[in-house]
Amino acid sequence: MSLTERIKHKAYDLGFDLIGIAPAGRATRADAYARWVEAGRAGEMAYMTRDPQRRQNVRNIQPEARSVIVLGLSHYTIDLPDEIKHDPSRGLIARYAWGLDYHDVMTPRVRDLLQFIRAEAVRDVQARIYVDTGPVLERDIAEQAGLGFTGKNTCLIHPRMGSWIFLGEIIVDLDLDYDRPITKVGCGTCTRCLVACPTDAFVAPYVLDSRRCIAYLTIELKESIPRELREPMGNRIFGCDECQDVCPWPQRFARPTSESAFYPADLDRAAPKLLDLIGITAEQFRERFKGTPILRAKRSGLLRNVAVALGNWGDEAAVPSLIGALNDSEPLARGHAAWALGQMRTPDVCRALEARLQIETDTTVKEEINLALM
């Protein structure tokens, strides 16, 4: 077997579902990325806008690069029962965060593959590895490596697996056999993802405005969620899968992964009860979500998201817990708890808001309380 064939066999032995190889060079969507950044659609994701020229060509990262090995691992596990998925008293978590953090699962295997490549090449291969962590346009490279096509929802879609796929890359200074991009299939006239987006985050097919995306709002955004986007969030507290849930490709072709680390320990991991989260302490947060992507939102971000979900639920059963959240140490939690209480406005709610207003010191929280009392 050629070196390329041996690398691919090893990748499958390591548990990867997909592998493809693209030539190292300028990304085909480099100009589209530049326009996206210039339009401000990255929001507060500074890592996406820092030194944009570097992301446009892997040789700006590794000048001697010749090939990019792209690896895919499915994280499709189960579908939530309808009675759980449509229960507004529960918070919805994006599928990719139901199990353990994919960085921790994939990165050791990518390193193992690189070690194998160096041994097989019988020389000191210059290389870099990334698992959604480096300054590369990885979906663009994955498309060039034949791992799928880019859908109108901006996700990479494999024709026989769908879009529930994690990606990793190895940039090497080796000339390998390149795979061809998939060109015979695509989205066609389908616009289900564009129509289904709760916050109208797609400004056009293949163009996502991150500032309106629920995944961005609940994970990347560190400040207050814009008021006009809170109600459309529904009960989503970490990420959003809507544009993939409605897509025909994963609906037809996604199959459960064999990777046990991505399965939820129980349904409460995928859709926890909101009232179990609103009063969570810092220690409880770290313990409950240890080893999962949810730590990325931090406690303050998760409580903010949970408060919005409780406000959208609108059940008076949430009032005592939200009143308790008015005294949380985090202004972000207090402000969004005030907004949530403002969706109910019982006499007890108004008294609690007025009492908190008398002692509140944070300007943003004061504004939220005043608006809730209007």
Q: Digits of tens for pLDDT over the chain (374 positions)?
A: 999 999 999 999 999 999 999 999 999 999 999 999 999 999 999 988 888 888 999 999 999 999 999 999 999 999 999 999 999 999 999 999 999 999 999 999 999 999 999 999 988 999 999 999 889 999 999 999 999 999 999 999 999 999 999 999 999 999 999 999 999 999 999 999 999 999 999 999 999 999 999 999 999 999 999 999 999 999 999 999 999 999 999 999 999 999 999 999 999 999 999 999 999 999 999 999 999 999 999 999 999 999 999 999 999 999 999 999 999 999 999 999 999 999 998 999 999 999 999 999 999 999 999 999 99
Which one of 13, 31, 104, 132 is the catalytic residue?
A: 132
Collapsing DSSP to helix, strand or coil, 275 comes out as helix
Q: Is residue 132 annotated as a catalytic residue, yes or no?
A: yes
pTM (two decimals): 0.95
Collapsing DSSP to helix, strand or coil, 67 comes out as strand
Collapsing DSSP to helix, strand or coil, 69 comes out as strand
- Residue appearing with tokens 């969507």: 29
Q: Which residues in the chain are classed under CATH 1.25.10? A: 192-242+265-373
CA 279 – CA 222 distance, rounded (Å): 19
Joined tokens for residue 146: 């034949």
CA 369 – CA 111 distance, rounded (Å): 51
CA 341 – CA 202 distance, rounded (Å): 30
Out of 3.30.70, 3.40.50, 1.25.10, 3.30.920, the CATH code matching 192-242+265-373 is 1.25.10
Joined tokens for residue 163: 């879009």
